[in-house]
Chain A
Amino acid sequence: MVWSRYVDRVNEAILDEEFRTGVERAVDTYEKGIYKLLEENPDSFKYAEEVRRVKEEALRNIDKLINRLEDRCRERGIHYFYASTREEARDYIRRVVGRGKVVVKSKSMVTEEMDLRDALEADENEVWETDLGEFIVQIAGDEPMHIVTPSIHYSRHRVAKLIKEKFGVEYDPDDVEGMVRFITGLLREKYFKADVGIVGANAISVEEPAVVLVHNEGNIRMVLNTPKKLIVVADITKLLPDIDSAVKTGLTASRFSKYLVTGYYDIFMFGKSSLEYGPDEIHLVLVDGGRRDLINDPEAWEASLCIKCGACMYVCTAYQVVGGRFGGKAYPSGIGAIVSSFTFGLEESLPALYTCLLDGRCFEICPMDIDIPGIIRLLRARAMSKAGSSRDRYM
């Protein structure tokens, strides 16, 4: 069942011409852009090496960091919640949000993983994704195809059609600016109406408790500042010891996403001042959801170094054809297949592990130097070993 469903979705994407065109155009721009940036800024890999060292150290001390973060949050009057599973995290956030509220969200893959939007909507809340790509995916009832650029598979024609369908407003597909203005205009209202803001994290600084967020649209800044209640959701691999390393992680991620400098870098310090314009109530939800197993895994742990730049996806041979249909939920391609093997289990992730061509383009570009094909081969072996060997069958 898992396999045939997966194969169907892969083949569906192959036959969908609009989908393919969208993905191909985007990956082409990003692939070339990233190589160009790295060529022109050869220090990027060195920069990344530094981040890798700090991240390795952080992962080794993950329990200490988590405890310290909890203390620091409590000292600062932040509501801290540690969720062992994504369900626990989701339920906590549902309780904090309540019913009948307006919620504005930034793009966050860990919330995607727990189907947070659906859960909050089921509680009769009005939820708005404020990242442009994620907004498109939301109104289309679709799912994100990339961790940085979620609507990679949408052409401007498809977006124009969607806006007409959902809002009754007609746009010339070539009038991209007009469509963007329409969406941001619609969202601008929502920010000020919103009761709750929900953001993810590029990195969490522990010692000076803060969240670092890198974005290109300015939406996150609005989500951070306008609603009275703010919920920050992050998985435990996002923890870094101090503000220096957290900022560096964010900067490195943006470089490998093709931006030497992105539009916005936000450092949001938890409970720093009275924050006249900021939220009155801040919740930090830290999610394990299988990641501790990944961190402690002797063969696959490297995957928890991932800083979510998405470079490996843009250059991935299979991703370039079927986009996020290759990989795990909310976390595409090879690295997604690995992480999902821990967050959703090996059986669920098996088809994704076998979609990988092991050709290693991802390994070449990865700023954290994660041996993605190597780990995938080992996880396949683990799965096959569990499935039973041929010897059992022929005894």
Chain B
Amino acid sequence: MEVPRNLKLLRDNIVETMHIFRLPLKDCGSWCREAPRETILYTGCLNSTMEIVLRRGRFLDLVTKDPDRDFLASLASYFSRTGPLYRLFISVGDGRVKELPRKAMEILRRVGVDIGCMRDEPYPGMLLYEFGFEDEFKGYAPKVYKVLKDRGVRRLVTIDPHVYELMKYVYPEYVDGYDLEVVNYIDIVKEAISSGKIRLEKPRYTVTYHDPCHYSKSRHRRMIEEPRDIIRASGAEFMETFRRGRFSMCCGGPIETYFSRLSREIARRRLDELRSTGAERILVACPICLVSFLSVGGSESIDIIEFIYENMVWGDGLV
């Protein structure tokens, strides 16, 4: 059976190093300044990984027009096998995607959540699960669970749809005696707004919102209105697209690994639709969506975390 090299590399990297790009785990939580506690903010290394994906994409854009060709696959695999070279990519620039969890931390602490984090948080193996490495995932998930348990973690706060769904609904099927509580920050923020703990100001810009598939079309728990409630609570002028809610559309991100051109075209198409609303900012709720849009020039895309961070009234009240 012919399996693309990129897929195999991904699998081997994850299984052997717990990191998609063979980097040291402490690169996953570069945003983390706190010690682990019972409750941690857990990104599953997703933000750090997506930062690399964004930068690698920009690099490939510079050197080729046809990123799906073989020689590039070998180039990519060269990078993958020698993981630390990726550090070159992440050592420059503002690292916005990578630093998103920092902002989430600040928000959650402001809300009053007693929260820590793990600098060396492991990758939870989402791509093993989605790309069909079922046998590997069966062995991998309990390993990740053990790492978290050994640090005394009891409760995870997630800030993206993939890690949330995986840790809350998929892991229990693969890990015996799984007892981690998984909470989504959107629920926490929404609750804090309605109880008056925090307040959002009306932003200077108009917004639209791109539903991430694993919220809007999740087969476990659908989160369609919750993020919108937060947006509405700010009083923002809010425009919707046709493809929203349960009929929302993917950003193209999931196939970036081996169909990069198609992935980009899908992102471009969705970006066009979002822009057709005339909104000045495109709100996303997933770092994969964010990077998909940023990769095709959608610089007006911001994560809801950034939206909250920017428009929250920090001064009044107490923690």
Contacts and interface: CB of A to CB of B under 8 A. Distances in A.
Interface string B243-262: 00011111010110011011
Contact of A361 (B130, B131, B136, B247): B247
Interface residues of A, number: 45
Contact of A350 (B1, B242, B254): B1
Contact of B134 (A1, A318, A385): A385
A354 interface: yes
A347 interface: yes
Given A350-B1, A360-B213, A11 B134 contact: no
Contacts of B266: 317-318, 321, 357
B132 A355 contact: no
> Secondary structure of the A side of the interface?
helix
Contacts of B252: 317, 357
B132 A358 contact: no
A148 to B, nearest CB: 20
A390 B130 CA distance: 16
B70 interface: yes
B3 interface: yes
Contacts of B15: 390
Contacts of B129: 377
B11 interface: yes
A381 B3 CA distance: 12
A101 interface: no
Given A11-B66, A321-B269, A355 B249 contact: no
B225 interface: no
A347 B2 contact: yes
Contacts of A354: 4, 7, 131, 255, 258-259
Contacts of B248: 361
B240 interface: no
B132 A359 contact: no
A390 B250 contact: no
Interface in A351-375: 354-355, 357-361, 363-365, 374
A380 B129 CA distance: 10
A255 B242 CA distance: 21
Interface of A: 1-4, 7, 10-11, 14, 32, 35, 315, 317-318, 320-322, 346-347, 350, 354-355, 357-361, 363-365, 374, 377, 379-387, 389-391, 393-394
Ranked nearest first, the 3 interchain pairs of A and B with the lowest CB-CB distance are A380-B132, A359-B250, A381-B134
Given A321-B262, A322-B265, 16 more contacts: A7-B259, A315-B247, A321-B266, A322-B262, A350-B2, A357-B254, A357-B266, A358-B130, A361-B250, A363-B217, A377-B130, A380-B132, A381-B135, A384-B3, A386-B1, A394-B12
